[in-house]
Amino acid sequence: MNHISFINLAYIVSCALFAFGLKFLASPETARKGNWLSALGMLIAVIATLTSHEIISFQWILIGMIIGSILGALVAFRAAMTQMPEMIALLHGFGALASVFVDWSAYHSHRPDTIVVTTALYLSILIGGVTFTGSGIAWGKLSERLSGKPILFPGQMWINIAALAFVLALAVPFFMHPAYYPVFLAILGISFLLGILTVIPIGGADMPVVISVLNSYSGLVACTTGFVINNVLLIVVGSLVGANGIILSYIMCKAMNRSLGNVLFGAFAASKKKKAVGEKKEAKSASIEDAYLVLEAAHSVVVVPGYGLAVAQAQHAIRELGELLEKNGAEVRYAIHPVAGRMPGHMNVLLAEANVPYDQLVEMENINPIMDTVDVCIVIGANDTVNPAALHDKTSPIYGMPIVETFRARTVFVIKRSMASGFAGIENELFYYDNTRMIFGDAKDVAQKLVAEFKAK
């Protein structure tokens, strides 16, 4: 077997491992195996690439590997679970930037000489620039370094349209004279600007979908870069990631009962908040002792996690509480809304980390039909995903979004630090229902106190 055949075979094996890795990531039970398979595929691809004759010098490669390994290790050990959403956004951005640098290098070494390469190069720097700066804005919003509210200014829509029209118009001189360097730089610069302008009008409630879309963009950039440098592995892997991101975005938009265009063009920003009219109810609170007495008598309990669970790092305490409830004779399930938290699968990751049994995780469409039979719902930090206004209030920004219908349970305990609104910035009607009791405090502290009550009595 000659050297080229060996590299092509290694690429085929890598592609197969990536495909199986994505397949296994579809289930919490096999997700860990999927990660290992994907990592192995990447290792094989890197080794095969480094042994190719196209590598002239290993000096900068070794420097980059050392710096990247150190930064990766620091992030892995120091980043908290609450920081995972913004870290994923950041990694998408840097992945796209890496593709842009590869395109830039290829452009310097030899100007595109075919229509296929020219088209791929144009799309790569356009999508890569948008993904890099868009991911940076998403990171800022998720990490709360930027406001999670839509950032708006007069004439914003027309500026966005003008920027998009200009970068599309630059395709004409670029295709006619690919070697003209200023046009290349202009496309890249406007792409960076367009990424910022595209994401800043989107509110924090839509960030899970935005992350998924940016994931798809990063895959598309890798795919187009593969065409630029004639690398089959990048084309295949980029296509897999791009398709995966698009499918996930569709699933999440369906869960919100909204179109992707509606999300990306800031529907929350355009919505008007409903003004309070008439008599306003007061929320009722419950003590730890009261909650214990109700839970002790419950035969069925459903836990509905939200971002507050991640903030408090309460997943281990909640799992322990669930085990005690099961020993007491109750059936315990965990209802997961597709867009709960700040990234796709956020709640699944947290509960898996705490070793919550996979068969206790129930999807929204499967738990809602039996919610009337549930004795107690424990809502932990969830807000918009359990707000009944989504079902009946046509003036609400979340109207039409399917929710976990916790209000139909016999008793609802909402564990929150305060009465603050969620990402959508609207009040949660659930707090004022007659069967709802608020338990104010840190979710981990409340869960630990409930555990202590069960152990003591």
pLDDT for 143 beyond 60: yes
d(CA 348, CA 252): 15
Q: What is the pLDDT of residues 160-181, one digit of tens each?
A: 999 999 999 999 999 999 989 9
Does some domain include residue 277?
no
Does some domain include residue 281?
no
Does some domain include residue 276?
no
Question: What SS3 state is found at 336?
Answer: strand
User: Does 257 share its domain with 361?
Assistant: no
At residue 272, the pLDDT reads 45
d(CA 383, CA 421): 7
Does some domain include residue 202?
yes
- Give mean pLDDT, residues 241-265: 81
Does some domain include residue 178?
yes
Domain boundary among 63, 78, 93: 78
Q: What is the pLDDT of residues 424-456, one digit of tens each?
A: 678 899 999 999 999 999 999 999 999 999 998
User: Does 217 share its domain with 263?
Assistant: yes
CATH code for the domain in which residue 366 is found: 3.40.50.1220
* Mean model confidence pLDDT for the chain: 87
Number of domains in the chain: 3
CA dihedral angle for residue 235, residue 240, residue 244, residue 245, rounded to 10 degrees: -20
Pick from 126, 273, 140, 270: nearest CA to 199: 140
Q: Which two tokens stand for residue 178?
A: 């690919």
Whether 384 is a known active-site residue: answer yes
Q: Which two tokens stand for residue 186?
A: 């202009």
Supply the range of the domain harboring residue 236. Answer: 85-270
User: Does 98 share its domain with 64?
Assistant: no
User: Does 90 share its domain with 56?
Assistant: no
User: Does 298 share its domain with 262?
Assistant: no
Q: Which two tokens stand for residue 267?
A: 């529907």
Q: Are 277 and 428 in contact (CB under 8 A)?
A: no
Count, residues in the chain = 457
User: Does 151 share its domain with 204?
Assistant: yes
pLDDT for 40 beyond 90: yes
User: Does 69 share its domain with 90?
Assistant: no
Domain boundary among 60, 78, 96: 78
- Angle of helix 156-169 relative to helix 181-199, nearest 10 degrees, comes to 150
User: Does 382 share its domain with 330?
Assistant: yes
User: Does 217 share its domain with 94?
Assistant: yes
Question: What SS3 state is found at 206?
Answer: helix
Pick from 421, 338, 312, 342: nearest CA to 143: 342
Does some domain include residue 170?
yes
d(CA 380, CA 374): 16
User: Does 293 share its domain with 407?
Assistant: yes
User: Does 234 share its domain with 308?
Assistant: no
The 8-class DSSP code of residue 440 comes to: E
d(CA 57, CA 72): 24
Q: Which two tokens stand for residue 75?
A: 């992030």
User: Does 206 share its domain with 300?
Assistant: no
pLDDT band at 288 (very low <50, low <70, confident <90, very high): very high
* Residue 125 CA, distance from chain mean position: 23
Domain boundary among 10, 43, 78: 78
pLDDT band at 222 (very low <50, low <70, confident <90, very high): very high
Tell me, what amino acid is at 198?
T
pLDDT for 1 beyond 70: no
The residue with greater pLDDT, 25 or 271, is 25
Q: Which of 290, 384, 393, 434 is catalytic?
A: 384
Does some domain include residue 278?
no
d(CA 302, CA 371): 9
Does some domain include residue 275?
no
